[in-house]
Amino acid sequence: MDRSFLKDKKRIVVKIGTSTITHTETGNLNLDKLEKFVRVLTDLHNQNKEIIIVSSGAVGAGRKALGIQGKPKTLSIKQACAAVGQARLMMIYQKLFAEYNQTIAQILITKRIMINDISRTNAENTFQELLGMGVIPIVNENDPISTDQIGDEIFGDNDTLSANVAELVQADLLILLSDIDGLYTDDPRNNKDAKFIDYVENIDGDLEAMAKGAESTFGTGGMTTKVAAAKIANDAGVDMVIANGDDVHNVTRIINGEQIGTLFKAVNK
Q: For 110-130, what is each residue's pLDDT tens digit? A: 877 888 889 999 999 999 999
The arrangement of secondary structure in 4-264, i.e. its CATH architecture, is: 3-Layer(aba) Sandwich (3.40)
pLDDT value at 170 more than 70: yes
Query: What is the pLDDT at residue 180?
Result: 84
C-alpha to C-alpha distance for 168 and 131, rounded to whole angstroms: 13
**C-alpha torsion sign, points 151, 166, 209, 246:** negative
C-alpha to C-alpha distance for 211 and 224, rounded to whole angstroms: 5
C-alpha to C-alpha distance for 268 and 73, rounded to whole angstroms: 44
Lowest-confidence segment of 65-74, 140-149, 236-245, 249-258 by average pLDDT = 140-149
Q: Does the pTM exceed 0.85?
A: yes
Query: What is the pLDDT at residue 22?
Result: 85
Q: How confident is the model at residue 50 (pLDDT cuts 50, 70, 90)?
A: very high
Lowest-confidence segment of 29-33, 109-113, 224-228 by average pLDDT = 109-113
Across the strands, what pairs with 199?
Answer: 263
C-alpha to C-alpha distance for 47 and 252, rounded to whole angstroms: 11
Query: What is the pLDDT at residue 216?
Result: 42
Tell me the CA end-to-end span of the chain in Å, nearest whole number: 14
C-alpha to C-alpha distance for 230 and 14, rounded to whole angstroms: 13
Residues in the chain: 269
Domain range list for the chain: 4-264
Tell me the one-letter amino acid at 224. Answer: T
